[in-house]
Every structure is written in structure tokens, then in C-alpha cells.
Structure 1
Amino acid sequence: MANAQPDTPSPSKRARMSHHADDEIAFFDLDKTPVHPPQMSAAAGSSTRSASSFPTALASRPAFSAQPSSETSHSDAAPRSRSTSPTKRFHKTESLLGLAVPIQFIKKQTLVAAVPDDVRPLLEALSAVEAGEALLPAVLRSHPDFQNDPRIRRHTWSDDTQPASAAAAEYAAALHNHEQLRRIVGKSIASANKHRSEAGWNNLVHTPFLEHATLHMPHLEVEPITSAQIMPAFRPLLISGEQVPLPSSETSAAGSSVSGRSGLATPIRRGAAMTTWVHKMVDYALVLRPSDALQALIDRFLEGEPWEKQSINQTRYEPLRAQPAPVFIETRTTSGTQDSANVQLGIWVAAWHKRIRTVASQAGTEERLLTLPVVQVIGGVWSVLYVVDDGTHIRVLDDDCRIGNTNNILGIYQLQASIAALGRWVQDTFTPWVTDLLTRAVENRA
């Protein structure tokens, strides 16, 4: 989101503001070198000071002294070395290469030979969806919404060989689903035309769609996680050994104004706003709803963890604390930047890897972690990328696979089929993998 640009205060307002508020803003202006505030005399601090005393006050400052001391001139002449703060480093996707375990976003023409075997069935399923195979229910072939659309081909229709007794029920279910999807398409188009914010898209389009698409997947829950933060124990490290900085509590209101000590509105500091920009996390997680047996296993594992690591994920956000999250979704509007989306997603998956590596180490395994699908959404268009563990670094592979969109009726059927494919991957691949990992970790503690 763009940071609000505060109006420049008038000279009269500046005169009324305490020097503390001004110092705070200057200190966090990353484009300016901080300066020490001038020593104010009692007369200078008086509200009744005459205008004629102002030049005298200026002349008394060191910067205006006619005969600076040798000490002052030596310090002013010496060049200052300004180190780049960790926060300022994370503007671009390539900044992620500065992590101790670097993250590389890599474009590929095709991913068939690039991805590990553990994700190939999902890749094939999503490729079939992207090609438009068997997406539309045959019982709705005569529906007006599907007439005269050149994008709908013969292979787009599903097999219509159904028993006559099931035809009526199937038609009713298909029609109900279609009406829900058509309503979401309407909201998506309106959101694009009205230039809604990311929060508007999330509330009116993405959340209703995800809830509908996972309605018949009892093993999955949709969790909005924009407020979830990375636990300190799992914050990624920079090559220097420093932790990637996280926002402080006072940066949560970035983009608005706060009350200064003088009681006047004071603009949010630029450094604080930048930190929030970097560390606004991803928007959604598709969370596994564990079986009773798996939940008991997770609880046993967490009981043996120290307090600072008591979450099965990389965050202490309660909906994710004791339920694994195998799919993350990052959304942005068309006015957002690809770099900001990549940085947010990259930091988040780096923290997930750091957390799951600690589980794997307790399981006594050095094998690479499971390949993770992640989703990026730009406006109404959804794409999938694959996070591959290469040991010394993490690759995020992207072949521009569009898994659907909410802007037209065919696109939203594609998207519904893609979420179904992700749901099957969670059930068939992720759940057995995480169950085995936790079982070995718990057994090794005994």
C-alpha cells in the first residue's frame, strides 16, 4: 500500500511543535544524515521571543560560527561511513539473495524437468486445468452463460455420462455452484473497475471464493493471516548473521498519523513505514484440519518444544499455532509491485523452511524438505509457483502457470478446479509427509 504523504506544516505550526517530534522525524528520514538538535536557551524556548532575536539565535549555532574550532572542523570534514540498515536492504527480489539461506526467484519455460518428483502430480493436474480440460459441468451445456464464448472448446466440458436418476440432483448442484461463482465474478469485475484496495479485494472477492472453493474439503480451512508475524526464533538470518528486522508495535499504524508529544498530528516516520512494507506478511493460508490422531501427534511434539518454538508453523498466530499450513497465498492489486510481493512471500517461506528444518533435525533426517506450492494473486488473476529446497538455498520456480481468474466465468471454473487439485495434494502428499516427520521427531525424544 502506498504510504500517505503528510502535508508540509506551515512555519507557524513548526514553531509550535516541540523539538522532540522534529528530531524523531529527522532521525528516521533515511535520505538525510541525522543531526543533533541545537541547544535551546530559555529565551529561545519562550513563546514571547521577538522576531528580531531569531537571526541572533541562528548565528549562535555551530553551523553558522565564523570561527569554528579545530575540533568541529575536523569532525565536519571527515567523511562519514553510513551502513545500510537491514530494513533498507529489502526493496527488490534480488535482496533475498542476501539471506544466509538465499532465495532465488527463477523463471522457467517449463518446469517438468526442474521440479522434484514430490510435486509432479500436482504440476500435471494444474497444467491440465490451465489447458482447460474438463472444467465445465456437461449438465449446464445449454446455460446462457456458456453460449457464444469462443474460449469454450469441446474439451472444456466434462464427461456427461451420468445415470438418468442422478441428472436432476446433479443439475441442481451444478446450477447452485454456477450462481455462486457468477456472483464472485461480478464482485471481481466491480473491484477492478472501482480500483478497490487490496483489503477490498480480499474481503469481497478472494475470501468468498476460497470459502466456496473449499466447502467440500473437510481437511482444509481458509485462514486470513495478514496479521500473522514471524516468531523471533524462526526469523531468517542475513549473511552477516543479523536477523531480518520485523516491525515494532509502533509501526502498525504506518500510512496514517500519530499524535506527537506536542499534541499535534505528526507524520509516521519513514523508517517505520518501510519496515511495515517489508514485513507485511502473506494474506491467506490453506490450513490442514488434522485428524484426531495427527492432532494428538502435533500436541505431543509441541509439548516438548521450548516456549519460543511452540508453534508447528513459523508464527504464533493462534489459528496456525497447532495446525500445519501447506499452502500460502499472497494477494495484491494491479497497482502493487512484483518486487514487494516477492519479498513478502520470500521472507515468509524462508521462515517456514527454518521452522520445518528444526522439526526435520529432531526427526533425524538430512533429506530436503517437501516442495511447497505457493500462490500469487494480482487483481483477479491467480498463478502458482513452487518452493524447492536445495539445501544451501531455496528456489522459487515460476513458469507463468495461470491457474485461473475471477474475472470471467471460464476463468473462475479453472480456479475452482485448481483449488481442488491443491486440496488433493494436501491430502495425498503433504499430510503423509508431515505425519511421518512428526512421528520420527517424537520417537527420537523418547
Structure 2
Amino acid sequence: MMLRWNSTISYDHLAKRRKAPSPVKSAHDMYLLDKPIYIKPLSGYSSDLAKDVRALHDQIRNIGDFKMGIFPGEIRDRIEAFADRTMPSTCFREPDLADTPGALATFAALCRVVDATAVSQSVRRYEDAWNNLIHTPLLDLVFGSHPLNIKRRAQEQVQEQKCVSVRFEPVMAATIAYEWIPRLRRGPISEQIKKNTNLSDLACSVSAGSAISCTSSQLEGASHISVPKDLMHTSADSKKVDYVLVLDILDGTPLKMVISDLIQKAAVKAQETEGILKVPPAHVNQTTYHPIRDSPIAVSIETKQDFSSRDPLLQLGIWIAAWHRRMKVLYSARSLDILDDQFRNASTSDQPTISRPPDTVPPPNPALVSLPLIVATGHHWQIYFACDQDVSIELYGPLTIGSTATILDVYVLLCSLQAIKEWVETIFYTAIKSWFQCNK
């Protein structure tokens, strides 16, 4: 979908505009979306959840409840001294002297996180400071470029010949591309909201960057591309999240080739016949942010301070609803590509190539894989599970996955994040292969 605007409206003018009103103002308003989102409490039983996240739910609960084997036995004395208590032997793994250097390095990194948390609470640091000093170092320890993680990842690839890995990416500035912003469903309430907010059927207002998927310098000369100015605001006001965990797929594997082919075809199909933006950026997710352009988002993380008034579930809900819109379009495109291949393969040398009828309707898509959503409020970390129910999304939670307040709690969090990493590499990966009909 291409948008045009009056060339007299400059980027600077848009940046100074007041934020356009959003019709969905809280998480409980997400029932107004065309694919409504309903927040439901966890009853304590995993049977409430979709099958693909039941085992992960149980594993995280067991980590928090029983703490069996989550602490390194090589440095038991240090952990007990730091915690100032004697702990049951069942909490510790069997000591392995070869792992002592790694255990000590991890312990030191976690101690720094705990210390930074205490100071951040004391001086009431802003969210950006929490992200820089606490959240990013912790995520880097499990999913990023920390030396311990690089060594572990190399060992895993050699031993298990993995063709996927999990990476965390800060996405604080990544906005939802205009075409994937969730729409409001039809009904008297939503129609009244549209009338009062002048937002057409959009669930939220649009940032200049997300509307056209380009930089501010490109925008100044793009007189042929626009969003109605009443729908515009600066990118700082967009519905965004702070971090994502993405599935990086090895080049040359069937799934990577299928995804690359799909997103390149979609970009070329949307090609402009005029102007500087010849081909929109190819992207598999709901955002065109380049570092994750061909790596499907598996987990989204929203952070905030204890005293913040922003609703993290609203941010996450809009973000995930947009991902659902994007995935549905890609599923349809993939299905039509498969039909094209079938028609071509049905042709023989004795007859001309058979083409798929242009009005062919792709098959209905199955349920999407459930997505874990993480909320970090100050030192407290919780997880929700977004389960696809075809016509709606049910958001179950919260479930505590740990904390950065004490050394014992941060080890629980570390183990929970490692369990989520394993889930992404197995269950999520298998589900994405199935979604893109690439079961190889």
C-alpha cells in the first residue's frame, strides 16, 4: 500500500507536531483490534495454554519454585557467602572443575547486574539507564556477544551442528511499518472512536519513519510519499518495544532461502514507478529495521521503571498484533508460490506451461506459533504467552521468571532466559519451518 502527501509538508514540520491520538489507550482496549487481544490470568495450570508453550511454562515455574540445579556447584561457597545463607545441596549442579573459570566469570557479571539494580533503584534512574546498565548486559550474557556466550555458541554448533541461533537485538527505535499497524474491527464502539480521533481504522497513530520506511534525510525529498498529516507523529511516540529475541538462520538452508525469496519478491512487487524509494526494504517482521530484516522475531521484551505510567502490555500487544498481520501475508504469498510451482511442474513438453488462475485464493492459514512476551518492571521480570486462537489472540500471564534484585533471584532469571533460548531454537524454529511450509 503506497501513500502520498502534499510535498509542502516537511519532516521538520511533522517532527514538531503533537502526537496524534491513539484509539487504543490501554491494554484492556485491545479487544477493539480487528484480531482482538484478550488478557487472561494464568490459573496455575499449563493446560490453559497452547501446546507449544506448555512445557516452557512448566520449566520456568519449576526453576522458580524448586531451584533444582540452577547454581554452579564449582563456586557454591561464593554464592552462599554473597547470599549470606546456607542453601540445600539440590540447588547446586554437580561441580565440574573445568567449568570453574566460566562459573566465576558469570558470577562476577551477575554481581555487577545486582549492584547496578540496587543503585538504579536508589537514585531512580530513567528507563534508558536501566537498559544500558542492567538489561543489556544480562541479555548479552545469554544471547549476545559476551565472551562466555560466544564460546558456548561455538561449542554447540560443533557438537550439535545447529543451523539456527538466538540473538537479542535492541529495537528501541524500530517502528511498525505502516501496512502492518493493526486495524480496528468494525462495530459501533470502534466507529465512534474513529470519528473522535480522526484515525480511520488504524489502531494507533503513525510515525514518519514507519509510514514510509526511510530515513529523515530521504523523507525531505520524497514528495510523492505520504501519510495524511492528521495521522502523523514523531517516531518517539510510536508503539515500540525495547528488545527482541530473533531466530538467526544459517545461510544456504532451505528455510533461509524461502524467507529471503519471499521478502525480496514482496519488496519488488511494491516497487515504486517514481521517486527515490525504488524498492521498499525487504523485511520478514512487522518492522523494516535492518538488523532483523530476515530473522523472525520469537520473543519481545518491554522494559520500564517502577514509577513509569506507560502500559507495557499495550506496547507489546500492538507490536505482536502487527507481527501476526505480517506473518499472515507471508503465509499467503508462500502458499501461492507453492501453487505456482505445482502448475509449472504439471506442464509437459507436449503442452504449453500452465499458469495459476489469477483469482486463486490461498488456503486458510493455520494457528501461528505462540509468542513469549517479557515485561521487565524495575528489577522484576515477568512473562506472558500470546496464543493464537485464529480469530483472536489470548494473552496469558503474568508468570515471574526471576529478578535482578538479589544474586539468587538473578540466577533464576538466567536459567529462565536459557530455557526460553532453548525453546526458540527448537519449538519456535520447528513452528516457523511449518509456517513457511519448509519442513526440511
TM-score after normalising by structure 1 = 0.69
- Which position in structure 1 is the counterpart of 2:6? none
Q: Does 2:250 match 1:291?
A: yes
1:371-405 Cα distance to aligned partner (Å, 9 max, x none): 1111110011111100011111111101x321111
CA distance in 2, matches of 1:395, 1:193: 37
1:235 to 181, 187, 197: 181
List aligned pairs for 1:382-397, cutoff 5 A: 382-397=381-396
CA distance in 2, matches of 1:394, 1:417: 28
CA distance in 1, matches of 2:18, 2:132: 34
2:414 to 407, 413, 416: 416
SS state at 2:183 partner: coil
SS state at 2:46 partner: coil
Over 3 Å counting, the alpha-carbon distance change for 1:94 and 1:274 in structure 2 is farther
1:190 to 119, 123, 129: 119
**Residue type of the alignment partner of 2:243:** Y
SS state at 2:295 partner: coil
CA distance in 2, matches of 1:217, 1:379: 29
- Which position in structure 1 is the counterpart of 2:35? 101
- Which position in structure 1 is the counterpart of 2:423? 425
**Does the aligned pair in 2 maintain the 1:220–1:288 contact within 8 Å?**
yes
CA distance in 2, matches of 1:223, 1:415: 18
Over 3 Å counting, the alpha-carbon distance change for 1:278 and 1:105 in structure 2 is farther
- Which position in structure 1 is the counterpart of 2:293? 321
Q: Does 2:63 match 1:139?
A: no
Q: C-alpha displacement at 1:242, in angstroms?
A: 0.7
- Which position in structure 2 is the counterpart of 1:334? 306
1:339-382 Cα distance to aligned partner (Å, 9 max, x none): 62111111000001111112233434531111111111001111
CA distance in 1, matches of 2:373, 2:18: 35
SS state at 2:372 partner: strand
CA distance in 2, matches of 1:311, 1:148: 46
1:116-168 Cα distance to aligned partner (Å, 9 max, x none): 1111121121112111222101111222654664594443222x1x5xxxx43
1:280-332 Cα distance to aligned partner (Å, 9 max, x none): 40000111111121322321121221336831100101012111111110101
2:261 to 290, 300, 318: 300
1:174 to 91, 94, 103: 103
Q: How many residues align?
A: 337
1:157-187 Cα distance to aligned partner (Å, 9 max, x none): 22x1x5xxxx432222211111111111111
**Does the aligned pair in 2 maintain the 1:226–1:280 contact within 8 Å?**
no
Q: C-alpha displacement at 1:336, in angstroms?
A: 1.5
- Which position in structure 2 is the counterpart of 1:72? none
**Does the aligned pair in 2 maintain the 1:278–1:344 contact within 8 Å?**
no
1:100-123 Cα distance to aligned partner (Å, 9 max, x none): 111111112214121111111211
CA distance in 1, matches of 2:236, 2:176: 15
1:224 to 161, 170, 178: 170
1:214-253 Cα distance to aligned partner (Å, 9 max, x none): 22347121110011111122110012471223343499xx
Q: C-alpha displacement at 1:440, in angstroms?
A: 5.1
SS state at 2:48 partner: coil
**Residue type of the alignment partner of 2:292:** L
Unaligned runs of 5+ in 2: 1-12, 144-148, 155-164, 187-199, 211-229, 271-279, 336-362
SS state at 2:382 partner: strand
SS state at 2:420 partner: helix
**Residue type of the alignment partner of 1:287:** V
Q: Does 2:287 match 1:352?
A: no
Q: Does 2:207 match 1:248?
A: yes
Counting aligned pairs with the same residue, the percent is 26
Over 3 Å counting, the alpha-carbon distance change for 1:226 and 1:345 in structure 2 is same
Over 3 Å counting, the alpha-carbon distance change for 1:250 and 1:289 in structure 2 is closer
Over 3 Å counting, the alpha-carbon distance change for 1:317 and 1:142 in structure 2 is same
Q: C-alpha displacement at 1:275, in angstroms?
A: 7.9
CA distance in 1, matches of 2:375, 2:27: 14
CA distance in 1, matches of 2:238, 2:79: 46
Over 3 Å counting, the alpha-carbon distance change for 1:148 and 1:354 in structure 2 is closer
SS state at 1:91 partner: coil
CA distance in 2, matches of 1:101, 1:390: 10
**Residue type of the alignment partner of 1:411:** D
CA distance in 1, matches of 2:256, 2:325: 22
RMSD between aligned alpha carbons? 3.1
Q: Does 2:64 match 1:130?
A: yes
List aligned pairs for 1:366-377, cutoff 5 A: 366-377=365-376
- Which position in structure 2 is the counterpart of 1:49? none
**Does the aligned pair in 1 maintain the 2:243–2:302 contact within 8 Å?**
yes
SS state at 2:327 partner: helix
Over 3 Å counting, the alpha-carbon distance change for 1:438 and 1:138 in structure 2 is same
- Which position in structure 2 is the counterpart of 1:343? 314
Q: C-alpha displacement at 1:88, in angstroms?
A: 4.1
1:110 to 20, 34, 44: 44
CA distance in 2, matches of 1:108, 1:208: 30
**Does the aligned pair in 1 maintain the 2:114–2:407 contact within 8 Å?**
yes
- Which position in structure 1 is the counterpart of 2:353? none
**Does the aligned pair in 1 maintain the 2:208–2:235 contact within 8 Å?**
no
- Which position in structure 2 is the counterpart of 1:204? 133
TM-score after normalising by structure 2 = 0.70
SS state at 2:297 partner: coil
CA distance in 2, matches of 1:148, 1:426: 32
CA distance in 1, matches of 2:232, 2:306: 21
CA distance in 2, matches of 1:88, 1:286: 27
- Which position in structure 2 is the counterpart of 1:282? 241
**Residue type of the alignment partner of 1:106:** K
**Residue type of the alignment partner of 1:342:** L
